[in-house]
Amino acid sequence: MSERSQDRIHIDGLSFSCIIGINDWERVAKQPVEIDLTLYADVSKAAQSDDVDDTINYRTISRSVRDFVEGSSFGLVEKLSDGVARLCLKDERVQRVDVRLWKPGALRLGRTVGLEITRTRADL
């Protein structure tokens, strides 16, 4: 990874509802999930041009993630997180992505359960 690809774009606090879980009741009702993304990409061209076409459009990636998550039906947050990461890596400018996925209310004894994964272009 080049030094420039250490540039990071953070998208935090995305909130969606989806079918997620292994219990029978989780397979019926949509549940909330929260997602934070860190996209590693060289943003130097956009810094020079001031043109959104030279960078990753945050709105576009957020909408793609929303459509994927809200249309999904996975048993495990691990599978959902991996799918979100692979979706982000479809943009060839993204060299690496960190996905943090939170499932509020997953445990009675805790506020939320979360998972963080990292995927790179080599993982595709």
Alpha-carbon distance of 115 to 35, in angstroms, equals 10
23, 75 contact by CB (below 8 A) = no
Give the helix/strand (H/E) hosting 117: strand 112-120
Residues annotated catalytic, as ranges: 103
Distance from C-alpha of 33 to C-alpha of 111, rounded to nearest angstrom: 12
